[in-house]
Amino acid sequence: MRVLNSIEEIEAAVGEPLGTTEWVTMDQKMVDTFADLTGDHQWIHVDPERAAQSSFGGTIVHGLLTLGMLPGFGLKIFRIDAGSARLNYGSEKVRFPAPLRTGTRVRGSATFVAVDPVPSGTQVRTRWTVEAEGSERPVCVAETITLVLP
C-alpha cells in the first residue's frame, strides 16, 4: 500500500506504476447483484443457458461492473491522505477492449498520469488497466479523476 501525504508526493509519482491488485473472481452472483441494482438484466449477463449458445460461450460481466471495481482496487494499491477530502470527480477514456467471461479472475493496475490545480482543489488523474486471467487484451482501460479538496 502506497500512501501519498501531499500533492507534491502525488506529483512526484506521476508516470510510475502504483501497483497491481490481487486477483478477484468475477462470479455470477456479482453479475446478478449488479443487474438487480442497475436494472440491466440483458440475457448475455444473467441467463447462463442462453448465453452458453452465444459466441461468448457463457455469460459476460457488465462493463460498468468492471469499471465499478476501480475504487475498491484503488484502496488496495494506494491511499491519498492529502487534503481535507477526496471525491470521485468522474472518468474519461473508458474502454472495454475484450469481453470478460463470468467466473474469470481480474486484477487492476494504476498509474497517476496528471495532477492539475483547479479552483476547487487539485484533480488527480489515474490511468487504470484491468486485465483478465488468460486474456491477451485488457477488459477495461480507463482514466479516473479524483478531486482532492484543500
Model's pTM, two decimal places? 0.95
The answer to whether residue 49 is domain-embedded is no
pLDDT per residue, tens digit, the chain (150 aa), is: 999 999 999 999 999 999 999 999 999 999 999 999 999 999 999 999 999 999 999 999 999 999 999 999 999 999 999 999 999 999 999 999 999 999 999 999 999 999 999 999 999 999 999 999 999 999 999 999 999 999
Distances (CA, A) of 75 to 10, 39, 130: 15, 27, 15
Instruction: Assess contact for 80 and 8: CB atoms under 8 A.
Output: no
CATH number at residue 96: 3.10.129.10
Amino acid at 1: M
The answer to whether residue 28 is domain-embedded is no
Q: What is the DSSP letter of 5?
A: -
The answer to whether residue 133 is domain-embedded is yes
Amino acid at 71: P
Q: Do you know the residue count of the chain?
A: 150
For the chain, percent helix, then strand, then coil, each to nearest 5? Answer: 25, 40, 30
The answer to whether residue 30 is domain-embedded is no
The answer to whether residue 103 is domain-embedded is yes
Indicate the number of domains in the chain: 1
And the C-alpha cell for 38?
A: 442497475
Q: Which domain holds residue 18?
A: 2-22+61-149
The answer to whether residue 33 is domain-embedded is no
